[in-house]
Structure 1
Amino acid sequence: FLKISNLTRKEFIETYNLPPLVYVPQIPTSLKIPFVVLYVLIFLLALFGNSTVIFINFRRKPTRTVSSYFISSLAVSDLLISIFCIPITLLYPKETDLITGEFLCKMVPFIQITAVSTGIFTMMCIAIERFQGILYPLQLQNSYTVGKAIKMLVAVWLSAMAIASPMWYAQKVEVIHDFLYNTYYTCCREDWPLPQYRQAYTTIILLLVFLIPLVTMAFLYGKVVHELWVKQRVHDAMFQALPGSEIKKITR
């Protein structure tokens, strides 16, 4: 077509005002500086805060508790998110060739999904611990030992890695040619054999990583709030309704 129109490639594009055939997302110029400053600030705070939590919890060996192990696991997952999610989100719109190697293309999404899943599963473990500690305090000492907490965290991390493992198969490096601008773009994307596989995996992620933990934590913390607030108000009201002599007997 260029030969027929007797135009160069650049003249042809400028004459018809043609955009690139390959869309590369770009941050608006007015938002670039606030975007970079905000992401760098979040990255530094996450890096410093989570590293400090991990250092403090593992430095004090004699005082390690079940909660300290859960919080350390949560800090590790947040640290992985800050290292593998924030910089890539910040640089990828500008550096489209950021993840060009086959190994990096597979590893980075695997770590991202593992870190997010681990953080959510760990928060669910914390919710279960709080639930048992408030509603069944006498059983907590026997049911939640440090050894059991470590086993739970091993199960959490293995489950998260199992959920993220399809990324080693699905993620592929692809080189796309924009023949209009004669430009090559290297991208890392999911390439499933069938669209149904992508839908099935997305559904599994939605159920296991978001909906089920959300419903579970909402139920557990709802019971905790009911126990601490509603029942306590009922107990206080019943206590205030007692005659003074009965209150003295109880206090004795």
Structure 2
Amino acid sequence: MMNVSHTYQPYYERPETYIVPLIFALIFVIGVVGNGTLVAVFVRHKAMRNVPNTYILSLALADLLVIITCVPFTSIVYTVESWPWGETVCRVSEAAKDVSIGVSVFTLTALSADRYFAIVDPLRKLHATGGSKRATRLTVATAVGIWVLAALLAAPAYIGSYVRAFVVNPTTQFLVCYPYPMEWGDNYPRTMVLIKFLVYYSLPLAVIALFYVLMARHLVLSTQNVPGEMQGTQRQMRARRKVALTVLAFVVVFAACFLPLHVFMMWFYYSPTAQEDYNGFWHGLRIVGFCTSFLNSCVNPIALYCTSGIFRKHFNR
């Protein structure tokens, strides 16, 4: 058991006790309806089954995974003082969360690479990864590989997560779902926080940024050749640029949603005085990061609705 050093405030006196469940209820409803409709549209309409949409389908499935397996259970973390669901749900929810994050960020990276080659090398794109059966097999294999990789990276969360007791005072203790087992060493939590920041956030976003910088550079340089291009090729390039902007919207949403959580976790585990400096600001940032990390699972369909006329038409129907 671990002692809690800061002043304890009963849950019924905290505003987040009442606000967080409402936010999670909205996340659940919007996420299930939005991602469920997105999956249904892709399954029902053959015109939607292309390379980028296959990856977007994978994103929607990852979002549905975390919404169904995590949101109903973790929504009460700031509402009740002890984790009520037991160790099995704790393990499944922690692992599912890591799987969903991994699938999301790795799929966004693959989408960015796909858009880069579609715009920079369209002839190779049409031959290797366009609308052919070879392209479909390659895309499906990549998507499945991403899920397998994400599941492997989430294995420590499933194996190590457990219900841990925290002592408030000699007469009060509460239980939390904790993903860092004490027997794995004192440095394990700090190591995992850093690995997650690098693998699930900063490194993939750096790769994505590189693809988009190179893409932008190519588009700027290619404007000199536009007058000599065929009209059909220009239309095709405009369509591909529009898809690239859609992917960029997904990336920006992901980066914004997970930034507060990573900032808090890196500060809390790497600042020597975090326990003493923990105040209202850091407590608020922790709650904001907690909520926005799950909010990411319901905003992708909204972003797609705003940027894709075809999806918007099918969704309205």
TM interval, short-chain normalised: 0.7 to 0.9
Instruction: Confirm or deny: 8 A CA contact 2:83 2:177 kept in the other structure.
Output: no
TM-score after normalising by structure 1: 0.74
Distance 1:28-1:234 versus aligned 2 partners, 3 A rule: farther
What is the CA–CA distance in structure 1 between the aligned matches of 2:119 and 2:13, rounded to whole Å?
50
Pair 1:171-2:161 in alignment = yes
Distance 1:95-1:158 versus aligned 2 partners, 3 A rule: same
Instruction: Confirm or deny: 8 A CA contact 1:99 1:188 kept in the other structure.
Output: no
Instruction: Confirm or deny: 8 A CA contact 2:62 2:104 kept in the other structure.
Output: yes
Distance 1:76-1:135 versus aligned 2 partners, 3 A rule: same
Shift of 1:94: 1.6
Distance 1:66-1:101 versus aligned 2 partners, 3 A rule: same
**Residue number among 32, 47, 55 corresponding to 1:70 in the alignment:** 55
Instruction: Confirm or deny: 8 A CA contact 1:176 1:185 kept in the other structure.
Output: yes
Partner of 2:213: 222
Distance 1:135-1:20 versus aligned 2 partners, 3 A rule: closer
Shift of 1:22: 8.9
**Residue number among 181, 193, 198 corresponding to 1:207 in the alignment:** 198
Cα shift readout 1:152-203 (whole Å, capped 9, x = no counterpart): 01110111111111012321223455563x3452322122421222232222
Distance 1:35-1:209 versus aligned 2 partners, 3 A rule: closer
Trace 1:43-62 onto structure 2 (pairs within 5 A).
Answer: 43-61=28-46
**Residue number among 109, 123, 127 corresponding to 1:124 in the alignment:** 109
Q: Which amino acid aligns with 2:153?
A: I
Distance 1:100-1:133 versus aligned 2 partners, 3 A rule: same
Unaligned runs of 5+ in 1: 1-18, 240-252
Unaligned runs of 5+ in 2: 130-134, 228-317
Partner of 2:148: 158
**Could you say what secondary structure the match of 1:111 adopts?**
helix
Shift of 1:28: 6.0
Seq. identity, %: 23
Aligned residues: CA RMSD: 3.0
Partner of 1:94: 79
Q: Which amino acid aligns with 2:113?
A: I
Shift of 1:81: 3.0
Partner of 1:137: 122
TM-score after normalising by structure 2: 0.60
Pair 1:188-2:177 in alignment = yes
**Residue number among 100, 103, 109 corresponding to 2:88 in the alignment:** 103
Instruction: Confirm or deny: 8 A CA contact 1:106 1:172 kept in the other structure.
Output: yes
Instruction: Confirm or deny: 8 A CA contact 1:25 1:93 kept in the other structure.
Output: no
Q: Which amino acid aligns with 1:174?
A: R
Partner of 1:198: 189
Shift of 1:151: 0.6
What is the CA–CA distance in structure 2 between the aligned matches of 1:69 and 1:87, rounded to whole Å?
27
Partner of 2:285: none
Partner of 1:12: none
Shift of 1:215: 0.7
Shift of 1:64: 1.7
Instruction: Confirm or deny: 8 A CA contact 2:103 2:147 kept in the other structure.
Output: yes
Q: Which amino acid aligns with 1:216?
A: V
What is the CA–CA distance in structure 2 between the aligned matches of 1:164 and 1:232, rounded to whole Å?
42
Shift of 1:63: 5.3
Instruction: Confirm or deny: 8 A CA contact 2:21 2:76 kept in the other structure.
Output: no
Of structures 1 and 2, the one with the larger relative CO (CA 8 A, separation 6+) is 2
Q: Which amino acid aligns with 1:148?
A: L
Q: Which amino acid aligns with 2:160?
A: A
Structure with greater Cα Rg: 1
Shift of 1:101: 1.9
Distance 1:33-1:170 versus aligned 2 partners, 3 A rule: closer
